[in-house]
Structure 1
Amino acid sequence: MTTLEILNLKCGGCANTIKKGLLTIEGVTEVDIDLETSKVGVNSSEETVLKSVKSKLASMGYPEVGDANTIIHKAKSFVSCATGRMTSESE
């Protein structure tokens, strides 16, 4: 399991969106999210898979710690969060 520390992780809605998004990446079959520490674990250490994971996280508004956290990232994370909350409530 490879662990990445990300920004903008706020709640279970965020976690739902992240999990669903990362599971669409080929090579990722397991995602572990720790809300308290803002860490995301994926079951791959392949560089190409991790690059895809980091790119997907940033595109959803959750860049890795150390990367730029722009207003666009923050706005996307709010949308992802709301989407994740609505999805989890309807399930």
Structure 2
Amino acid sequence: MDHAIRLKRLRFRSWHRGTKEADLMIGGFFDRHHQDWTPEQTDWFEALLEEQDVDIMAWAIGTQPCPPRWEGPMMQTMRDLDFVPIAK
């Protein structure tokens, strides 16, 4: 699949999760970081999107232990939560 098309699909899937909270966390993470991802990191994110939103969010905010498959630099970046827009 063409890389640009793949990114468009990932952006859509990131921002259409089912809840506003998941959209902001997962979509915001994608928007902030995807341009710097290696192909392996893009693969990681694409696979992560197959997980349930409540699980992804729980792993990212630390309310549930993160499975070893997802633990690593990408999840740590997601945990930083510096990409979630906050209205002022």
TM-score category, normalised to shorter length: 0.3 to 0.5
Q: 1 or 2, which has the higher helix percentage?
A: 2
Q: TM-score, normalized by length of structure 2?
A: 0.34
Alignment TM-score, normalising by the size of structure 1: 0.33
Say which structure is richer in strand.
1
